Structure 1
Amino acid sequence: MAAKTLNDLFVHALSDIYSAEKQLTKALKKQARASMSTKLKEAFETHLEETHGQIERIDQAVEATGIKLKRIKCVAMEGLIEEADEEIGEIEVGPVLDAALIGAAQKVEHYEIASYGTLCALAKKLGYTQAMTLLNQTLEEEKATDKKLTILAEQEVSAETAGAKV
């Protein structure tokens, strides 16, 4: 990436998170299937629906700004998904895997929170008011998902994994 302007940086960051969200749609399905907890499955399925809406918001932000996304692959998301896939392959289905999946999901949320926070700041600086509003909606959704995952970890999974073998 050879960004020379803030707009170049915005286009790159938006292209990157677009790739990340697209990758995540596939990963969330797999993570939902791998989890034992009904509440965790539901959380993954809910976030999948939200992710589709977030992709639509990116499309709307692109339209509002008149920019063109670059075809890039988000290697950060690729790595986070690969890490979760390894856990799915190595940990027996049960409460320990559910705890690992929550941790993996929160890593994703933190990456997305950082990405959308940066995008909101860039959109504001560039005067992309409509894009900033759309991206901020997604930022707030990501923060809410992170909080829901924390509650799941504290209430449901922690009690189940306390006696589980690691």
Structure 2
Amino acid sequence: MTLDTRDIYVTALKNTHALEMQALQIMERQVERLQRYPEMEDALRRHIEETHGQRTRLEEALQAVGDSPSALKEGFLGIVGNMMAIGHTPAQDEILKNTYANHAFENFEIAAYESLLTITEAAGQRGSITGFQQSLKEEEAMARRVRELVGPTTRRYLELTISGEKADR
């Protein structure tokens, strides 16, 4: 079976859409547990809104080629996203583990958008490039923000833990 550039483009759109749905699952679960870390909570809340816009851009690109998101991929990645979001909850240092995972996930999304942009150009779908470039910039900004919050989040975790307070959320 030979795939053409359009098929590869549609697959990349579906994969990236499913990835964004997974990101939403992870962030929405985490934000519920960040009362003691307002800077991280604020960053995640803002990025949740951006992610909704990214999802919409991907859906519009899929509609433009007469296709739609993959229910199978989204269902599977939704389960994975929920498992990832609750995976660190029993840990005393949940906030630290989530911060590391968030930084890694944002960089994963950056790579996905860089690849999607290359595929978009190869497929001749120029109408979607600006939107995907915006999504890439949002992911890069969030990766920077999470990286900037590693130190302050770790200091807050230390303060809470040393003082005997609950530090996991």
TM-score calculated relative to the size of structure 1: 0.82
| Contact 1:80/1:107 (<8 A) preserved | no
Instruction: Write the distance in 2 (CA, Å) between the matches of 1:112 and 1:67.
Output: 24
Cα pair distance change 1:11/1:142, threshold 3 Å: same
Aligned-partner Cα distance in 2 for 1:77–1:29: 12
Count of residue pairs the alignment pairs up: 159
Aligned to 2:153: 157
- Preserved CA contact (<8 Å) 2:59 2:68: no
Aligned to 2:167: none
**In 1, are the aligned partners of 2:26 and 2:84 still within 8 Å (CA)?**
no
2:108 is aligned with 1:114:
no
Q: TM-score normalized by structure 2?
A: 0.81
Give 1:69 deviation, angstroms.
Answer: 3.0
In the other structure, the counterpart of 1:144 is 141
Q: Name structure 2 gaps, 5 residues minimum.
A: 163-169
Which whole-Å CA distance do the structure 1 matches of 2:67 and 2:13 have between them? 10
CA–CA distance in structure 1, aligned partners of residues 135 and 102 of structure 2: 16
Please show how residues 8-19 of structure 1 align to structure 2 within 5 Å: 8-19=7-18
Counterpart amino acid of residue 25 in structure 2: K
Match of 2:165 in 1: none
Q: For the residues of structure 2 that align with 1:162 and 1:145, how far apart are their CA atoms?
A: 24
1:132 deviates by 1.6
- Which one has more relative contact order, counting CA pairs under 8 Å at least 6 apart? 2
Q: Give 1:83 shift.
A: 3.0
Letter of the 2:53 partner, please give it: G
* CA shift in 2, pair 1:131/1:31, >3 Å: same
Range 119-128 or range 25-34, more displaced: 25-34
Please say if residues 113 and 143 of structure 1, whose CA atoms lie closer than 8 Å, have aligned partners that are also in contact.
yes
Determine the structure 1 residue equivalent to 2:94.
Answer: 97
Q: CA deviation at 1:100?
A: 1.4
Gaps of 5+ in 1: none
Distance 1:63 1:70 in 2: 9
Q: Is residue 12–residue 70 contact of structure 1 (8 Å, CA) maintained in 2?
A: no
Letter in 2 for 1:87: H
Asked if 1:56 is matched to 2:52, the reply is no
**Identity rate, percent:** 22
Q: Which amino acid is 2:83 matched to?
A: E
Indicate if the aligned counterparts of 1:109 and 1:146 stay in contact, CA closer than 8 A.
Answer: yes
Provide the residue aligned with 1:83 in structure 2. Answer: 84
- What SS does the corresponding residue of 2:88 show, helix, strand or coil? helix
